[in-house]
């Protein structure tokens, strides 16, 4: 693995931890794609790629529309699914089990 990968991986890890503020643990893949699009310089003629890590849930249902917007601007999206098909408990950033608004464990 190239040495230049490690600072990038560390920055990503830190941003995930720092940016994880949703108390309801709702996935909004459309917002994730749109946020990634905001970070590109479309005046530059370089390849643009989004790597999307997901458990497959999209509570807002906006992922396909956002992916179409990305494709229309020439951005490729590579999706990597994480987790088990039958689900599993979600661990909150503090290490505890995430709970829904009704107090039930989030699976």
Name which residue leads in pLDDT, 2 or 102. Answer: 102
Rounded Cα–Cα distance for residues 85 and 12 (Å): 26
Q: Tell me, what's the pLDDT at 56?
A: 80
Q: How many CB atoms lie within 10 A of CB 54?
A: 15
Q: How far apart are the first and last CA of the chain?
A: 33
Q: Tell me, what's the pLDDT at 26?
A: 65
Chain segment 13-43, per-residue pLDDT in tens: 555 543 344 455 567 888 889 988 988 889 9
Taking residues 83-104, what's their average pLDDT? Answer: 79
Q: Tell me, what's the pLDDT at 78?
A: 94
Q: Which of 28, 34, 32 is nearest to 52 (CA)?
A: 32
Q: Tell me, what's the pLDDT at 77?
A: 95
Q: Which of 47, 24, 37, 27 is nearest to 103 (CA)?
A: 24
| pTM of the full structure | 0.65
- Where does the pLDDT of residue 1 fall: very low under 50, low under 70, confident under 90, or very high at 90 and above? very low
Rounded Cα–Cα distance for residues 53 and 60 (Å): 16
Answer yes or no: is pLDDT of 85 > 90: no
Q: The tokens of 79 are what? A: 């999706």
């Amino acid at each position: 693995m190239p040495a230049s990968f490690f600072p990038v991986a560390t920055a990503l890890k830190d941003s995930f931890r720092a940016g994880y503020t949703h108390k309801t643990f709702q996935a909004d893949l459309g917002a994730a794609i749109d946020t990634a699009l905001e970070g590109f310089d479309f005046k530059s003629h370089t390849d643009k790629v989004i790597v999307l890590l997901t458990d497959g849930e999209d509570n807002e249902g906006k992922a396909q529309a956002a992916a179409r917007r990305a494709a229309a601007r020439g951005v490729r999206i590579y999706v990597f699914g994480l987790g088990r098909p039958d689900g599993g408990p979600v661990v909150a950033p503090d290490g505890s089990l995430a709970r829904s608004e009704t107090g039930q464990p989030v699976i």
